[in-house]
Amino acid sequence: MGLIFDEKSAGAYETWHHSSQGRAIDRSIEELIAALLDPKPGERVLDIGSGTGNHLLVLSRMGMVVSGIDASSHMIDKSKNRLGNRCTLKQGFAEDLPFDDNEFDLAVLINTLEFLDNPLEALREAGRVAKKKVLVGVINGLSWNGLLKRAQGYFGDPLFGHARFYNIWQLKSLFQAAYGPVPIFWGCIKAHPSFIEKIRPFGKELWTWKNSPFRSFLGVSATMVYRVKTDNLPLKIRLQKAGQSLVGAKTLRDLNRNKGVKGNERGLSI
């Protein structure tokens, strides 16, 4: 279940979201979603851990039919006030989604996985309700920003003290454990230059590479691939030689007459 946002932690999240870094990530999140999900207008998308509706607004602007779920009643109320009837909202847990199999085309977990106790079960549930793709977006644990937030958590930050930070290899392992060998795509957002990035101690190419594993915000998507495994059972009984062919038989009476069936004894056995 993990952290359920109350008024205090929700306020801390909104403060971070409206910071220069949070705004920079927000400006780039639509591009990241478009690149990793390739959404189509009219597709149904579920935002798992929808919070106050920041990403529901982004998904709605992209022309999708949006739904959100959050464990916090406080967050749900804020989303309803912001979005009104533009989306469907439910209160519930990421690890036990109250939706049918394949009810949505896409599912996203943006700044959600960090605050869950059982991220693997949440990913499995997301894959159950989404028939096309699942996207996870997290603060990159290998970025300078991720290291800073981790340090803030150690010193009692009300938000990041409850967070678990991931890098690309950890997320890939979680995706493979949840979905098996499915196609996985990823990318990073460089929220804003830090003094570390300006120095570029490991060379310019590493820090300007599109999929650098050290940028501030990390997105990973998986394409759902459904497989059916069958057990091939050997045929142990020999097939007998075929009897009279039906080809050329005009009527059921002709068949029965050829078999020697009389009167009321005519019939078919199944």
| Residue 242 lies inside a defined structural domain of this protein | no
pTM for the full predicted model: 0.73
Contact 138, 213 (CB under 8 A): no
Higher pLDDT, residue 234 or 179 = 179
| Residue 252 lies inside a defined structural domain of this protein | no
pLDDT of residue 208: 40
Higher pLDDT, residue 259 or 195 = 259
Q: What are the tens digits of pLDDT across the range 188-226?
A: 887 654 444 444 443 343 334 456 777 888 999 999 987
Q: How many distinct structural domains can be found in the chain?
A: 1
pLDDT of residue 225: 87
Q: What are the tens digits of pLDDT across the range 122-175?
A: 999 999 999 999 999 998 888 767 666 666 655 456 566 678 889 999 999 999
| Residue 176 lies inside a defined structural domain of this protein | yes
Residue 73's domain is classified under what CATH number?
3.40.50.150
R_g of the chain computed on alpha carbons: 28
pLDDT of residue 56: 94
pLDDT of 230 above 70: no
Higher pLDDT, residue 142 or 114 = 114
Non-local CB neighbours of 207 within 8 Å, separated by 6+ positions: 197, 200, 214
Range in 22-36, 110-124, 142-156 the model is least confident about: 142-156
CA distance 16 to 214: 20
Its domain, for residue 170, covers 7-223
| Residue 231 lies inside a defined structural domain of this protein | no
| Residue 59 lies inside a defined structural domain of this protein | yes
| Residue 148 lies inside a defined structural domain of this protein | yes
Give the 3-state secondary structure of residue 110: strand
| Residue 45 lies inside a defined structural domain of this protein | yes
pLDDT of 16 above 90: no
pLDDT of 183 above 90: yes
Contact 22, 51 (CB under 8 A): no
Contact 97, 106 (CB under 8 A): no
pLDDT of 187 above 70: yes
pLDDT of residue 226: 75
Contact 71, 92 (CB under 8 A): yes
Task: List b or e across 4-13, with b for residues whose CB sees 16 or more CB atoms inside 10 angstroms.
Answer: bbeeebbebb
DSSP string, 188-223: EE--S--HHHHH-TT-HHHHH-TT-TTSSEEEEEEE
Mean pLDDT for 106-135 is: 96
pLDDT of 253 above 80: no
| Residue 186 lies inside a defined structural domain of this protein | yes
Non-local CB neighbours of 102 within 8 Å, separated by 6+ positions: 128, 129, 130, 131
